[in-house]
Amino acid sequence: MPLIKHGAESADPWDYVEGEAELADGGYFTVRLSRFLAEAPTLADRNTRVGVRLVPDDDVEELVPYLQQVQLIEIDFPKYTDGRGYSQAQLLRRRHGYTGELRAVGHVLRDQIYYMNRSGIDAYETVRADLPSVLDALKEFSEVYQPGAGGQVSVFRKRHGS
Amino acid sequence: MYRYDEFDEQMVRERVAQFRGQVNRRLSGELLEDEFKPLRLQNGVYLQLHSYMLRTAIPYGQLSPRKLRQLARVARTFSKGYGHFTTRQNIQFHWVALKDVPAALDLLADVEMHSIQTSGNCIRNTSSDHFAGAARDGIRDPRPWCEIIRQWSTFHPEFAFLPRKFKIAVTAAETDRVAIRVHDIGLHMRLRGDVLGFEVHVGGGLGRTPVIASLVNEFVPEDCLLDYLEAIMRVYNLHGRRDNKFKARIKILVTELGPEEFTRQVEAEYAAQRPNEKIDLPRAEIDRIHAYFKLPDFAEKPETSAVFEAAKAADAGFARWAKNNLHPHIMPGYTSVTISLKPVGGTTGDMNADQMEKAADLSETYGFDDVRVTHTQNLVLPHVALDDLPTIYAELVAAGLATPNEGLITDMVVCPGLDFCTLANARSIPVGQAVQQVFADPDYQEDIGRLHVNISGCINACGHHHVGHIGILGVDKKGEEFYQISFGGRADEKAVIGTITGPGLRSEEVPGALKRVIDTYRSLRTSKDELFIDTLTRLGHDPFKEALYATD
């Protein structure tokens, strides 16, 4: 599954570690929110980079105290029809000012990427979509009716001079 | 009426291009049907029993002659020459081929129309009072705010994959003609001093679990409305149930949390919004959109019209139509005309292309280019001079559009049922037609007075049977169609869910049983002024149940 970010296919040093398995020294790992919260106090002392994988049931507010120290948050879309990840992304980016990588994983399809991008997700581990189709998807609409994560000025505002 | 600017135009054109690509990818096999389904649904394309169906949005039921003529063209070119108006003020074209949908959407875009978000688990078309701006009881015109909501909800990135579909309705009148209390969000415009705001009702709905909405906020000032809607939507998107399709509507969340806790969560979410999260709707933009909805320049006319009075005296048919199908207008000498799409024996809400063009002509010549769709599946010419009514009536008669039954027992709401729909358990259209036949005599209908009969062919309740004064629900019992009757529902400002009377009836028993109920009402009412629903409230359901199950 290609990782696409910043308009290009990207190498991916990160691995997702299920459950409580050991995190090798010097590696890049994402873990579930509950494990992250449990180990958070010791993370700064370690040589291992630890990110978080959020699932739809997770409450992003629990992660808020750690947003300065985390470099990668993955938002899992187990089914593309489960839209909770869009709200999680909006909360992280727009309410809590998270500036690190926000990556969609799971059932990530070409036709959801436009909405993901506008919700603040900036990296996509896609199921089948290749780079050209993702780039197409990102530019299907020139204008927006609502403010979003990308800072694009809404039509409501644009009509009256931004 | 609102006109697209270059931004709106571009948005709709880009949507057609996007969907054309999606259709091509589906037809080439690159997209799996399961992946394509939500994409086609968000463009109003359903796969039905016999073919695809295209549902096109008519935002808040607002049409113009130009739009109506284009709908006629789409009906002729891609369907079988007719369209079906729905209870959410939209239009459906059956028999459309998938490969033709992008071309149909091009035609719609040419007249500032689209099928965006007419299905799928997203925010749907916002519905409104079909007499908006014309009726005497409206404190303001709700349409500008419906248009603002339309734009805000279009391609909203956070709310495209909600737990379930989401419907908003807005009224500005004390008499609720848009059924706000059975919508996911119902907004009632209110004034506090000079400040306009919205009373916010959340969690109404029909379907298998009918619920009357809870009052969540008595007054949200207009400049806070979109942000408040965002808060409701986010609470729903994050916490609405996704484990069971039938428990996924917001009404279940409100019921399970309790209205107080739900309201607390919405208020907390609203309070947590930061300045950068606000929708930022400039006052100038609110004013810009309102300017499109200025009322026409009405002529100064006397309250009564000699031409109108003379025609009534001369033609009993005209007098009857005028008595039933007109609604009082804000301006002296004007009225609002309902064009009934419920001829006895017809298919509720259907209109053929010739009729659409006729209605467009009438609107253009006599109606200030304004046409509305009602949620009871009729059309309305909201602004017509009394002087013009005899001519309009003659034209409607010639087009088969002069059925004089607005609000009467034959003006039924009927879903497409098993004749078209994959969800249905039973047929609706033939049962509706059979009931209409029993009450076909216009004198009989008028004697009965205002009475709403609503028919659904399955528990999903597209025919709004829960809120009919008499509701009819088709069910399947071991391969046979049965019809459950309910009494006492209403969708207006006194909204109530009807009560099921007892065992279902066979389809052929329904018309006779309803006739017994109606004749019982006629014998028990205190006077002709006491409507069926009021007699029912006064006496309780028992005498009517007895009549329903009596043997002739």
pLDDT in tens, B259-313: 999 999 999 999 999 999 999 999 999 999 999 999 999 999 999 999 999 999 9
Question: Which tokens in the block code for residue B401?
Answer: 């559009």
ipTM above 0.90, yes or no: yes
How many other CB atoms are there within 10 angstroms of residue B33's CB atom? 10
Put simply, the answer to whether B11 touches A141 (Cβ < 8 Å) is yes
What's the mean per-residue pLDDT of chain A? 93
- Round to whole Å and give the CA distance between B140 and B137: 9
Closest chain B residue to the Cα of A162, Cα to Cα: B282
Distance from chain centroid for Cα B383: 20
Contact across the interface for B237 and A155, Cβ inside 8 Å? no
Query: H/E element holding B170?
Result: strand B168-171
Contact status of B405 with chain A (Cβ, < 8 Å)? no
Give the mean pLDDT of chain B.
96
Is the CB of A119 less than 8 angstroms away from the CB of B152? no
pLDDT in tens, B232-261: 999 999 999 999 999 999 999 999 999 999
Residue A162 has pLDDT above 70, yes or no: no
Residue A130: pLDDT band with limits 50, 70, 90 = confident
Beta-carbon separation of B7 and A143 below 8 A:
yes
Domains (ranges, CATH) in chain B?
6-110 (3.90.480.20), 142-291 (3.30.413.10), 306-398 (3.90.480.20), 413-549 (3.30.413.10)
Q: What is the pLDDT of residues B431-474, one digit of tens each?
A: 999 999 999 999 999 999 999 999 999 999 999 999 999 999 99
Spell out the residues 6+ positions from residue B508 whose beta carbon is closer than 8 angstroms to its own. Answer: B434
pLDDT at B34: 87
CA angle B167, B171, B177 (to 5 degrees): 90
Residues A26-53, mean pLDDT to the nearest whole number: 90
- Asked if the C-beta of B246 comes within 8 angstroms of chain A's C-beta atoms, the answer is no
For chain A, how far is it from start to end, CA to CA, in angstroms?
40
Residues of A in Cβ contact (< 8 Å) with B163 = 83
Chains A, B: CB contacts within 8 A come to 114
Q: Nearest by CB to B157, which of A81, A142, A148?
A: A148
Say how many C-beta atoms besides its own lie within 10 A of residue A7's C-beta: 10
From B288's Cα to the closest Cα of chain A, the distance in A is 9
- The predicted pLDDT at position B134 comes to 97
Q: What is the mean predicted confidence (pLDDT) over A22-46?
A: 89
- Can you tell me the mean pLDDT for B83-109? 95
Say yes or no: B265 contacts chain A, CB-CB below 8 A: no
Task: Quick: pLDDT tens for B485-525.
Answer: 999 999 999 999 999 999 999 999 999 999 999 999 999 99
Interatomic CA distance for residues A153 and B285, integer angstroms: 14
- Contact residues, chain A, for B272 at CB < 8 Å: 95
Share of chain B above pLDDT 70, in %: 100
Please check the confidence at residue A2 and state whether its pLDDT lies above 90: no
- Confidence (pLDDT) at B49: 77
Of A47-51, A77-81, B474-478, B490-494, which range is least confident?
A47-51
Which among A116, A147, A160 is the nearest to B279, CB-wise?
A: A147
| pLDDT exceeds cutoff 80 at A44 | no
Q: Give the contacts of B161 (CB within 8 A, at least 6 positions apart).
A: A80, A81, A82, A83, A86, A112, A115, B38, B121, B122
- Asked if A155's CB is within 8 angstroms of B151's CB, the reply is yes
| pLDDT tens per residue, range B25-57 | 999 998 888 889 988 998 999 988 778 999 999
Q: Which residue of B has its CA nearest to A159?
A: B285
Answer yes or no: is pLDDT of A41 > 90: no
CA B293 to chain centroid, in Å, comes to 20
First-to-final CA distance of chain B: 54
Rounded Cα gap, residues A125 and A73, in angstroms: 13
What CATH number was assigned to the domain covering residues A3-158? 3.20.20
Mean pLDDT across the stretch B323-332? Answer: 98
Tokens of B109: 């875009």
Residues B389-401 have pLDDT tens digits of: 999 999 999 999 9
pLDDT band at B421 (very low <50, low <70, confident <90, very high): confident
Handedness of CA B254, B256, B261, B266 (dihedral sign): negative
8 A C-beta contact, residue A125 and residue A73: no
Distance CA B322, CA B394 (A): 12
Determine whether the interchain pair A145/B155 forms a contact, defined as Cβ–Cβ distance below 8 Å: yes
Q: Which two tokens stand for residue B91?
A: 């239009």
Residue of A nearest to B38 (CA): A81
Decide if pLDDT at B359 tops 70. Answer: yes
Whether residue A108 has pLDDT greater than 90: yes
pLDDT band per the 50, 70, 90 thresholds, residue B552: low
Are the Cβ atoms of B161 and A81 closer than 8 angstroms? yes
Would you say residue B135 has pLDDT above 90?
yes
Q: Which residues of chain B does A142 touch, with a Cβ-Cβ cutoff of 8 Å?
A: 10, 14
**CB proximity list for A67: less than 8 A, separation 6 or greater:** A92, A96, A97, A98, A100
DSSP letter for B65, please.
Answer: H
SS3 of residue B95 by DSSP? strand
Test mutation, B4, B16, B42, B161, chain A, max A CBs within 10 A: B161
The whole-number pLDDT of residue A43 equals: 77
List the domain boundaries for chain A: 3-158
Residue ranges of the alpha helices (H) in B372-509?
A: 389-398, 429-438, 442-448
CA distance A21 to chain B (A): 29
B194 touches chain A (CB under 8 A): no
What is the token pair recorded at B121? 């688990």
What residue in A sits closest to B159 (Cα-Cα)? A83
